[in-house]
Amino acid sequence: MSTCAIIVTYNRLELLKECLEAINGQTRTVDYVLIVNNCSTDGTKEYLSSIASESNIIYNSPTNMGGAGGFSKGIKIATERTNCDYFWIMDDDTIPSSNCLEALLSHATELNNKFGFLASNVRWKDGTPTNLPMIGSDWSIKVSSGLIELQTASFVSLLVQRQSVRSLGLPYKEFFIWDDDAEYTMRLGQINPGYMCADALVTHKSTAKGVATGIVHDVPERIKRYFYLYRNDFFIQKSYGSRAKVIRTILHDLTDAMRCLLLAKTNRIQRFRIVLKGLFAGLFFKPVREEVD
């Protein structure tokens, strides 16, 4: 069974180098490393040209496709240019432990490949848990094997099978940022359950721990990106949730909009409008599922 590691990077060259060093130091060898450079401007393109090889596949995007577009493109290229059975997906600030891939593949074998996805046990720089997944209702069924059933997981070290990609298509590139991994893992979970592997440890060297600060208190420079959060989240609830969940999402978003007006210290009207704009867009948002052979 062969594996292609897929990394999406944007202006984090030093972390990318650390990520690649960890991948190349795995106790279970990676067959291919595919790096999607999201139009970085920090010397990443020049560095990648120096390490390009038959087993290091480089794609330099002419534009920033966002994380969603980067992962969609990376998985597509991996299916076209490799014959790998597994795709190991991660951000450029993901630093896997030396036996991470070995642990993931060991659990894949134990499960006879009857899984939607396998997620790593993600810790932040201080060793505490981060990128906490949504636990499944039957979370404890395989806990004695070090597996916790999940509903969703992040692209911070995620193992998926080629055959699953062929069945369910690529992540929605139209998401751009936010919740593309949640939607994709929910989709994969429709085939077979997804699990977190307790012994597949990675460190996520993100600037901030866990979820975003939130639109009410985040810095003005980040306000516009929340459009994608509210739009994408509503699409997910509309696609996978019950009518009651959709109604709760609408009420939650309207509450967030009012909190922007009442509690934000700056740019109150802008924050308010972004929430409503994202919610309204989610009503009509219909990303196209791209299939692969």
SS3 content of the chain, % helix, strand, coil (to 5): 45, 20, 35
Instruction: Give residue-wise pLDDT tens across range 143-197.
Output: 999 999 999 999 999 999 999 999 999 999 999 999 999 999 999 999 999 999 9
> What pLDDT does residue 231 have?
98
d(CA 214, CA 88): 29
The predicted model gives 101-127 an average pLDDT of 97
The percent of residues in the chain predicted with pLDDT above 70, rounded, is: 99
User: How many CA atoms are closer than 13 Å to the CA of 22, on its beta-carbon side?
Assistant: 27
d(CA 133, CA 119): 9
Residue 209, pLDDT > 80, answer no
Residues 6+ apart with CB under 8 A from 33: 4, 5, 7, 20, 23, 24, 55, 56, 57
Q: Which fold has domain 3-204?
A: Spore Coat Polysaccharide Biosynthesis Protein SpsA; Chain A (3.90.550)
d(CA 68, CA 27): 29
Residue 36, pLDDT > 90, answer yes
Question: Which string of DSSP letters, residue by residue, matches 55-81?
Answer: SEEEEE-SS--HHHHHHHHHHHHHHHH
Please list the residues that pair with 121 across neighbouring strands: 201
Residue 210, pLDDT > 70, answer no
User: How do the domains of the chain map onto residue ranges?
Assistant: 3-204, 220-284
